[in-house]
Amino acid sequence: MGVNKDPIVTLAIEPEHVMLPLLNDSSTALLLKLVIYNASDIKRIYLKLDYDSTIMYQEACSIDPDFYSSTGGWRGLCGRDYLNAEFPRSFSGSSVAFLFFFIVYSTGSTEVKPVLVKLLDSNGNEVRFRVKVASVKIVSFEEYANSKYGGLIEGFKKLSIMYRELRDRYDKLLVNYSKALDELNSLTKRFKALNDSFKELKLKCEDSVSKYQECIKELKLCKLNYEKLEEICTSLNTILKLPLRLKIS
């Protein structure tokens, strides 16, 4: 049996890096995909999956619908931790090929990698390949939350501190505002009182001006009368100084 000299095919387990929380009911499910890259003539696939079975186990597997359409279906077995598949039509290109479903029941880390791999082309020749493994880490829910949302939690704490500081400043401003409002009300009352006094003084001033103008008029009249009296007195004084003449007829 010869070896196909075409570019090396890559079999990858994806996602490459996975971190999941272990839920309290131990029902955490994990989906991993077998992805084929750079295939030119793949007729048959055989492989086993190697991983730490004390952390999780494979529950089921299925062929990807698009891959199924490309190959015209498949024959073989997809059991726990192994795959033996032959296709009516050989596959060329890149695609998700199979889906592996796992049940996680313990915390820990493991690699999931294809082993004992054999790829055959339409002529039964072995196809060169390389594999890419997936890294799976199962952690407690608390660790997962801290890892995923730790930054958000810290940001929330900082925002909470800022909120409390702003609230304290707001309370102080509110107290100062209340004091300022009380002072404004007091000043408003004082202004109103002063304004009322000013209006009263203005009325008194206007009355005084009116009386002053009346006095000016009376003063002018008195001055005229005085001048008339002065003229009369002058006339009388002149008359009194004249010699007395008797006319004898």
State the DSSP H helix or E strand holding residue 117, giving kind and residue range, or none if neither. strand 108-120
> Please, which pLDDT band fits residue 5 given cuts at 50, 70 and 90?
very low
- Residue 146, pLDDT > 80, answer no
The reported pLDDT for the residue numbered 43 is 95
Domain boundaries, the chain: 3-140
Closest by CA position to 70, among listed 51, 47, 98 = 98
CATH topology of domain 3-140: Immunoglobulin-like (2.60.40)
Confirm if 63 and 131 have CB atoms less than 8 A apart: no
Over the stretch 153-197, which tens digit does the pLDDT of each residue have? 677 677 778 878 888 888 888 888 888 888 888 888 888 888 888
Per-residue confidence (pLDDT) for residue 4, from 0 to 100? 42
> Stretch 112-132: mean pLDDT, rounded?
94
pLDDT of res. 152: 66
Check residue 249 and give its pLDDT. 46
Euclidean distance between CA atoms 11 and 130, whole angstroms: 6
The answer to whether residue 131 scores a pLDDT higher than 80 is yes
pLDDT at 75: 94
Task: Supply the DSSP string of 47-61, one letter for each residue.
Answer: EEEE--TTTEEEEEE
The reported pLDDT for the residue numbered 1 is 37
pLDDT at 26: 58
**pLDDT score at 123:** 94
CA distance 149 to 190: 59
143-155 core/surface letters (b: 16 or more CB in 10 A; e: else): bbeeeeeeeeeee
Taking the mean position of all CA atoms in its chain, how far away is CA 129?
48
Taking a C-beta distance cutoff of 8 angstroms, is the pair 36, 94 a contact? yes
* pLDDT, mean of residues 101-128: 94
Provide the pairing of β-strand 28-50 with 108-120. antiparallel
Whether 32 contacts 62, CB under 8 Å = no
Cβ-contact 12, 63 below 8 angstroms? no
Per-residue model confidence (pLDDT) at position 133: 96
